Amino acid sequence: AGVGSQKDRVVTQEEWLRKWELGNIGFHKEQGHPLLQKYLDVLLNGRSGLRIFFPLCGKAVEMKWLADMGHSIVGVEVSEQALKEFFAEHSLPYCEEAVPEISGAKRLRSTSGNISLYCCSIYDLSSSIVGKFDGVWDRGALVAVNPCDRQRYVSLMITLMEKNSSYLLVAVSYDSNKHKGPPFYVPESEIKSLFG
């Protein structure tokens, strides 16, 4: 039981798509996350017009908040439904584009141009496709990644960060004996060793 049993657990992309279809999206926060407000200064560090990345973005309303503050948002999400709901719920017009570097992927981009959401797996991205970022909002992302993919995820994230970027990570502390995840329990010691 416990963390041991979570280690081998895999949530497939099909399972995620199904959650969106069924509306099993208890992770979505209609009102946005209070910790982003609390740590906004840490993320921005006095800078404006940042490029901010939302890994495993779902339809996180924080993308709209930060875009409204003048930042450029890039997100990635396997569920096209999630991305379409995002644009619809904020009444944002958008267009769909192919992503030549990634077969089968799409990019949904707000007509105003400052929100660009990739519909594909995060593992399909690289800095040559999406560039590098000044800030990352990782809420429900590292903790949703399958435990066997954590190292790969973090290594990729590091390649997507500019030198002076800030990375806000929300992790949840809970009794991993009572819940098999996601979110998975990622102990603080593991977060430290993953990011080095």
Q: Which residues bind ligand SAH (CB under 6 A)?
A: 13, 16, 27-28, 56-58, 60, 76-79, 82, 121-123, 139-141, 144
152 is known to lie in a ligand binding site? no
Pick the closer one to ligand SAH by CB: 89 or 111: 89
Whether the CB-CB separation of 52 and 133 falls below 8 Å is answered with yes
Which among 195, 141, 166, 172 has a CA at the least distance from the CA of 66? 166
By C-beta, is 13 or 112 nearer to ligand SAH?
13
Question: Is 192 annotated as a binding-site member?
Answer: no
Shortest distance in whole angstroms from residue 77 CB to ligand SAH: 5
Identity of the amino acid at 116: S
Q: Is 25 annotated in some ligand binding site?
A: yes
> Looking at beta carbons only, is 27 or 39 nearer to ligand SAH?
27
Is 45 labelled as part of a ligand binding site?
no
Q: Among residues 173, 142, 148, 155, which one has the least CA distance to residue 7?
A: 148
164 labelled binding-site residue: no
Give the nearer residue to ligand SAH in terms of CB position, either 77 or 134: 77
**C-alpha closest to that of 150 among 101, 193, 96, 86:** 193
Angle between helix 80-89 and helix 13-22 axes, rounded to 10 deg: 40
Annotated binding residues for S-adenosyl-L-methionine: 16-27, 56, 77, 121-122, 139
List, as residue ranges, the binding site: 16-27, 56, 77, 121-122, 139
